[in-house]
Amino acid sequence: MEKKQALQCVVLFVCISASWISVESLGNGLGLTPQMGWNSWNHFGCNINEKLIRQTADALVSSGLANVGYEYINIDDCWANYNRDKWGNLHGNDATFPSGIKALADYVHSKGLKFGIYSSAGTRTCSGRMPGSLGYEKQDAKTFASWGVDYLKYDNCNTDGSAEKQRFPVMTQALRASGRNIFYSMCEWGYQEPAKWGAEVGNSWRTTTDIKDTWSSMLFNIDINDGYAKYARPGGWNDPDMLEVGNGGMSYNEYVAHFSLWAISKAPLIIGCDVINLNKEAHSILANKEVIAINQDSLGVQANKVKKYGDLEVWAGPLSGGRKVVLLLNRGNQGTKLITFNWADVGIPPNSAATLRDVWLHYTYKKTIRHKLTVRVAPHSCRLFVLQPV
Ligand code: GLA
């Protein structure tokens, strides 16, 4: 009898723990590689409407960007009416999204793409122009699910002052209960170091404040993000904010470095420019399949900074198949510099020979290389290689 009771206790305990885990953690199976898509904020801010979003979906497909992996069309702030309706529901802004959000999501889906939306873990969003979801998490998650939303970016403005660690998981559970599998992109700007707890809560978490379309802001964000490299993993990624490539504030070489750093850091590749009027240079950067493949590599390990001498840096990380990715960065503006790295710096056995592929030149060097490599790197530029030990 006593034995039987003890067994019942164990069974009960196992059941309780199992249900606790399944309620607490997101576990939605999404984001096995970093998410790729487009978001309205960096280029358009609050200046958005349904025509723009539909044309962007069209352009993502016609430009070939959808074909190389960009799949989410995400509307950021300012999509809803100023107030909820009398039942407490959110609605698309009557002036700018008159057909409603469900119709827009249907259109995006008809293009073979996925649809994302935005809210805040506060009473209003960051623009102040629409309500946030604090206190309405379940209701809003249900609304999003009923519209066919695939992705939620959840911001951190106009809060009640409670901890992010408490507020963000409320939406995790609301999404789980919504009846639809929704990617959860947490945006609490690194306040409570979400890299350390985010994997249970969301699919990605911002590690920084908002990016600006400048070389220094881009580097500032990727440096902070680098400090959390070890926490990134399939299903949960560090997010140093969306891409500025194509917005005009940086040179071609600077945007190549921006995209390369995001790719090796397994950062979300969320385009932040106007893809309807995309220039050729930006297209060639965003559509580089070899660089995208580094970001989407099945191993899912974030590369990090392994060496620094003043403005010169070596970043490296493992890829599937025993390959290594190596990025050489010249942050300075004082002319072309030589950067050297040793095999030990990038995790290759010292005596191994390796082949070297430049993924921007799309060129594999004829000779294999041993021990170390020295490369010329122009100012405000990077070189990006994949090494295959042979
Ligand atoms: C915050 C976020 C941005 C953007 C704006 C919208 O600043 O960090 O990415 O969503 O809000 O108001």
Residue 339 corresponds to which tokens in the numbers above?
């950067």
Closest alpha carbon to 41 in 280, 283, 224, 270? 270
β-pairing, 72-74 vs 304-309, is: unpaired
DSSP assignment letter at 317: E
Q: How does pLDDT run across 105-124, given as a tens digit for each residue? A: 999 999 999 999 999 999 99
d(CA 248, CA 241): 17
pLDDT at 197 over 80: yes
Among 44, 155, 168, residue to substitute to test ligand 1 (most atoms within 8 Å of Cβ) = 155
d(CA 249, CA 239): 21
d(CA 263, CA 281): 17
> How many alpha carbons fall within 13 Å on the CB side of residue 341?
28
d(CA 102, CA 141): 14
Among 42, 44, 76, 221, residue to substitute to test ligand 1 (most atoms within 8 Å of Cβ) = 76
Binding site membership of 77 for ligand 1 (Cβ less than 6 Å):
yes
Closest alpha carbon to 268 in 213, 327, 208? 208
DSSP SS3 for 205: strand
Binding site membership of 209 for ligand 1 (Cβ less than 6 Å):
no
**Number of residues assigned to the chain:** 390
Q: How does pLDDT run across 354-381, given as a tens digit for each residue? A: 999 999 999 999 999 999 999 999 999 9
368, amino acid identity: T
| 155 has catalytic annotation | yes
| pTM for this prediction | 0.94
Mean pLDDT in residue range 334-339: 97
Mean pLDDT in residue range 229-246: 98
> How many alpha carbons fall within 13 Å on the CB side of residue 339?
28
**Angle formed at CA 183 by CA 180 and CA 187, multiple of 5 degrees:** 135
d(CA 290, CA 293): 5
Distance of CA 107 to the CA centre of its chain: 24
Instruction: Give 15's pLDDT tier (boundaries 50, 70, 90).
Output: very low
Instruction: Give 26's pLDDT tier (boundaries 50, 70, 90).
Output: confident
